[in-house]
A and B are shown apart, each in its own frame.
Chain A
């Protein structure tokens, strides 16, 4: 589904160039749940931004369903984002002035879905994510976990094929984090959502099928969960992080 080929990303001026991504390549299959891990400054968010077309790559190609998104004109990029990508951010990014229902419906309105179908579709997805009873509320009236579920609903309501999550549990307590990760797993397993999640939390990464490790902008390692229990996979992730070095404090 997603193919990242030798992408590079440089920041800065002529005299002071920072290499944020260095020849990163990987593939994501349809229906996969992938986590990208790494320390602060390792390039995880840059990678996510490049895939989500918020940022552009300096070299290399990103193909989604065979379409090279690094070469799309800006107008097409906007269309691509609203039709194909769903976003879940660490700080929820819900609009304060809209109710939960409207925040979710916004994604449909942007896709020019006939207005009379919006409520129906929002209601369907809210039912699946167990947030039907808070649809009338404003973001400041609900908990962090509920906000994140609303963000998940917005990310998939318009039938987006790839869900990009940037530290989705970063602002949640452990109970709400667990709840959210289960929701993501459910979305992946039952609704067929392909998920690419950036995190520096080993516990969150343990829910993925595969974990990619980034260090200094390069792919350092890759772990496949296979049939192993989540607990075992979690410990393997911790081992790799220990190998990466200097990041134990991030994991514990």
Chain B
């Protein structure tokens, strides 16, 4: 049937002189058919082309590069991610082409049978794929322009700049996208070309009838591999979480061993399980569901393992992306409530040099200079160390005068808080608030004993060294504070407009000059922190999401191609079941179960590996940074949600398509 679709007059193909035209005509016709039959694949390739183009657009955009000095390394990061994307998409294209080759080898056999030379058939298939790839590329570049605008809008918003639409067709990006596609197709085509040319007519005609080989059958061997793979998976996940690069690498190896071992041995393990428990096998739809699953696993165990591996990488990429994003912005949030904050630890020095520059060149709205003092002991610090993960920078609790505290609150627009005589206040970062609320001990200072007067946790610049405390600070009456030794001096200011990169660099130059004869000062400029976070996000988070997206789409496409190509087998199965008296409701339940198991199998191991890994990674930064929407739980939920939502989209598409094709009307 395929043959007649392809050419109404096949004998013409053999006529010398005309064969080139026929090959071209056949290729075009087959390309159209291929795009229709493998719609999911075609759509994925279009999407991938669009993604590649849009990211390439970022590489060639001067506008993006000018946003911050750090953005100069963005092209390198995108090229690195792009190299991985090319490798993955090459696999997808190569896999799909090999798959189509298997399915259509009979058709190619007939072409050879009626007189086309194997080289011509190889050329025909090559042209066909070239047309499909070319169309996908053109559509992808067009769609990619839209994607690029979205990316551009996101990057500009990261840098707090207004987005205005400006159509930018980048010849460089188009060229690079073409080059990527050329590499992808060249690799895939070489393989299939070699295969067609070396096959004999009989091989081509009978290729689709060959039985696929079950991978592992022997009971003991299977059980051993299955057990070993589980152990390897467990050990691998632990090693991945260990935090050391070498152990992480070994862990990744163990995880790969687990996935391949698991999928290759699992397929034969399930029948063995049911063989021993026949009463379970014949319950409900179990028989049909488990047999379909094991048949699939037996023939595509390696593919399933590869897909599972890609999914694991997806989840880890998404999780890491979210963690980095949370980390960059968490640090900005904790660091930069003031537009400028300069801490000086060398008590022989003051802020004079900085102030000189700032008064002249930066429009200041409000400013304040004050000191932070050393308390008499480290009792609050000891309490924190006993009860939570707390990194210390000082050997005493730090103390601030109430009047300074009140001034800072006014600058930041926070409500006034009273301090009664004989009391102290605690101001801390949010992650310590709950714990410090339970702190009811009195604090000795200047011969008096102060009792707790309350805990506050609005952002106050308490993260880092020489800032307002060290994650927490005690606020005490002015008279008592002044009795304590000074720990460091601070200057904070709010400006009329954000400091530009040049102004920040000027402050750094002043510091550099001062550092020749004093300790290194701590300069925190909010606008610069935000710029750096935006640049870091663009450079690390974007490539990770880019990878994650491509990985999910590739894996889901391979699964869907496999499943949809089996529509006729499923149709046959349900037609027979209908004849045998299975009602429609039961058939729907069976199909859904078969479907759910098929898609769940490669998706579950990544969750088992990815979730502990992401959790561990999210717990590693200093405390108080990954909180709220960036808390480890929220990051896991978002990463899993993102991963599953794209996957679900493919599942729904495949299910609808399969259901339409399978159930008899």
Contacts and interface: CB of A to CB of B under 8 A. Distances in A.
Contacts of B586: 110
Contacts of A74: 583-584
Contacts of A116: 278-279
Interface string A162-178: 00000000000000000
Nearest to A82: B581
Interface in A81-114: 81-83, 85, 87, 93, 95-98, 102, 105-111, 113
Contacts of A83: 581
Contacts, number: 76
B190 interface: no
A109 B211 CA distance: 28
Contact of B580 (A110, A113, A119, A140): A110
B276 interface: no
Interface string B254-285: 00000000000000000000000011111110
A79 B593 CA distance: 22
A115 B281 contact: yes
B579 A109 contact: no
A82 B582 contact: yes
Given A102-B291, A106-B287, A115 B582 contact: no
B292 interface: yes
Contact of B581 (A85, A97, A102, A140): A85
A118 interface: yes
Interface centre among A79, A85, A98 (most CB of B within 10 A): A98
Contact of A115 (B282, B569, B581): B282
B573 A79 contact: no
Interface centre among A93, A96, A98, A109 (most CB of B within 10 A): A109
A75 interface: yes
Chain B interface residue number, banded:
20 to 34
Chain A interface residue number, banded:
20 to 34
Nearest to B582: A110
A102 B281 contact: yes
B576 interface: yes
Interface string B288-319: 10011011000000000000000000000000
Contacts of B281: 102, 105, 115
Interface in B527-581: 569, 573, 576-581
Nearest to A113: B282
A80 interface: yes
A78 B581 contact: yes
A54 B278 contact: no
Contacts of A70: none
B579 A115 contact: no
A118 B581 contact: no
Contacts of B576: 93, 95
Contact of B291 (A75, A80, A97, A111): A97
Given A82-B580, A82-B582, A115 B279 contact: yes
Interface centre among B284, B569, B573, B583 (most CB of A within 10 A): B583
A102 B287 contact: yes
B583 A78 contact: yes
A52 interface: yes
A83 B584 CA distance: 16
Contacts of B283: 109, 115
Contact of A106 (B280, B578, B580, B584): B580
Contacts of B573: 95
Contacts of A107: 580
B579 A79 contact: no
Contacts of B577: 110
Contacts of A78: 578, 581-584
Nearest to A119: B278
B665 to A, nearest CB: 12
A243 to B, nearest CB: 34
A74 B663 CA distance: 15
Contacts of B583: 74-75, 78-79
Nearest to B280: A115
A107 B211 CA distance: 27
A54 to B, nearest CB: 6
Given A54-B579, A78-B583, A82-B581, A109 B282 contact: yes
Contacts of B578: 54, 78
Contact of A105 (B282, B294, B581): B282
Interface string A118-145: 1100000000000000000000100000
B287 A98 contact: yes
Contacts of B582: 78, 82, 110
Interface string B208-229: 0001000000000000000000
Given A116-B279, A140-B211, A98 B579 contact: no
Interface centre among A78, A85, A98, A111 (most CB of B within 10 A): A78
A87 B576 CA distance: 10
B435 to A, nearest CB: 57
Nearest to B285: A109
Given A74-B584, A102-B281, A81 B579 contact: yes
A75 B587 CA distance: 12
Interface string B225-257: 000000000000000000000000000000000
Contact of A81 (B280, B284, B580): B580
B576 to A, nearest CB: 5
A87 B287 contact: no
B579 A105 contact: no
A93 B576 CA distance: 7
Contacts of A97: 291-292, 294-295
Contacts of A113: 282
Contacts of A85: 581
Contacts of A87: 579-580
Contacts of A95: 288, 291, 573, 576
A58 to B, nearest CB: 18
Contacts of A111: 581
Nearest to A85: B581
A81 B579 CA distance: 7
A104 B177 CA distance: 56
A106 B581 CA distance: 11
A83 B211 CA distance: 35
B587 to A, nearest CB: 9
Contacts of B279: 115-116, 118
A98 B291 contact: yes
B280 to A, nearest CB: 7
Nearest to A140: B211
Nearest to B294: A97
Interface centre among A79, A106, A116 (most CB of B within 10 A): A106
A12 to B, nearest CB: 17
B583 to A, nearest CB: 4
A109 B279 CA distance: 10
Interface string B583-623: 11010000000000000000000000000000000000000
B581 A52 contact: no
Contacts of A119: 278, 282
Interface of A: 52, 54, 74-75, 78-83, 85, 87, 93, 95-98, 102, 105-111, 113, 115-116, 118-119, 140, 154
Given A81-B581, A116-B278, A140-B211, 18 more contacts: A52-B579, A78-B584, A79-B583, A82-B580, A82-B581, A95-B288, A95-B576, A97-B292, A98-B287, A98-B288, A102-B281, A102-B291, A106-B287, A108-B282, A109-B287, A110-B581, A110-B582, A110-B586
15 contacts: A74-B583, A81-B579, A81-B580, A82-B580, A85-B581, A87-B580, A106-B580, A107-B580, A110-B580, A110-B581, A115-B281, A115-B282, A116-B279, A119-B282, A154-B580
Q: Which 5 pairs of residues, A with B, have the shortest CB-CB distance?
A: A82-B581, A81-B581, A78-B583, A115-B282, A97-B295
